[in-house]
Amino acid sequence: MAVIGVLGGTFDPIHLGHRTLGLAAVEEVALDKLIVMPAHIQPFKQNKKVAQDRHRLNMAELAFKDCPQAEISDYEIKKGDISYSYETMSHLRSIYPDDELFFIMGADSFINVEKWYKGEELLEEFGFIVSSRPGYPEKELESKMKFYKMDYDTKIIRLMTKMPDISSTEIRETALAGESIRHLVPAVVEKYIQINGLYDDMIRNPRWKLDQY
């Protein structure tokens, strides 16, 4: 039986926090496969403009190209519509019926999973690999982990690797201001963003160049 971790997100852009989270799961949990899944439309970001699907897929490929366990999936993007985690995990279970599936996420999202679309089913049917960012209230996370385990019998693995405190919003704003983002994203992702002109005044005057990378 293989152990598979699923790392989902808008990845607009994918950054060092995402990469650290994925690699920590591979190393600490000994994942046989890490599926990185860019969302088409996240439920909580339905009205937000994001970079084109092809760019977010390309950046995910670049960010994890040196990780042999990583596989970039375009399932949610090809499926279209809103990307619900339960539907995606159920789809993956149909592909890997004999393997153990874990959803990888940060504490901020994890504590609210129960309120997601079919969140209770997600907690009952799948495992979770969870990390926390610097300064996150540990007691709140521990309390929620205990609650999920008791109420849903959820298998939860807590990552010990220290996570960088980075957000995609911070990166876009930094890029818009014309400042360097090399300390926030993998070098190959920074180059891709520069070559393709991503986030160049995308809010007020969006423009997308053809892929050149």
Give CA separation, 188 vs 16, 21, 72, 96, 191, in Å.
11, 18, 16, 31, 5
Residue 206 within a domain: no
Is a pLDDT exceeding 70 seen at residue 44?
Answer: no
Q: Is 179 exposed, middle or buried (0-12, 13-18, 19+ CB in 10 A)?
A: exposed
Residue with tokens 């293989």: 2
Structural domain tally of the chain?
1
Least confident of 105-109, 122-126, 155-159: 105-109
Q: Is 62 exposed, middle or buried (0-12, 13-18, 19+ CB in 10 A)?
A: buried
Is a pLDDT exceeding 70 seen at residue 208?
Answer: no
Task: Quickly state the pLDDT bin for 172 (edges 50, 70, 90).
Answer: confident
Residue 92 within a domain: yes
Residue 8 within a domain: yes
Chain segment 65-100, per-residue pLDDT in tens: 999 999 999 999 999 888 899 999 999 999 999 999
Listed residue (148, 147, 110) closest to 129, CA to CA: 110
Residue 113 within a domain: yes
How high is the pLDDT of residue 47? Answer: 55
Q: Which domain holds residue 51?
A: 3-165
Other CB atoms within a 10 A radius of the CB of residue 171 amount to 23
Residue 203 within a domain: no
Residue 124 within a domain: yes
- Where b means 16+ CB within 10 Å and e means fewer, 69-89 reads bbebbeebbeeeebbbbbbbb
Chain segment 29-40, per-residue pLDDT in tens: 999 999 999 998
Other CB atoms within a 10 A radius of the CB of residue 202 amount to 18
Q: What is the mean pLDDT of residues 164-190?
A: 89
More confident residue, 89 or 199: 89
Residue 46 within a domain: yes
CATH number of residue 66's parent domain: 3.40.50.620
Q: What's the rounded Cα separation, in Å, for the pair 167 and 70?
A: 22
Residue 144 within a domain: yes
How high is the pLDDT of residue 41? Answer: 77
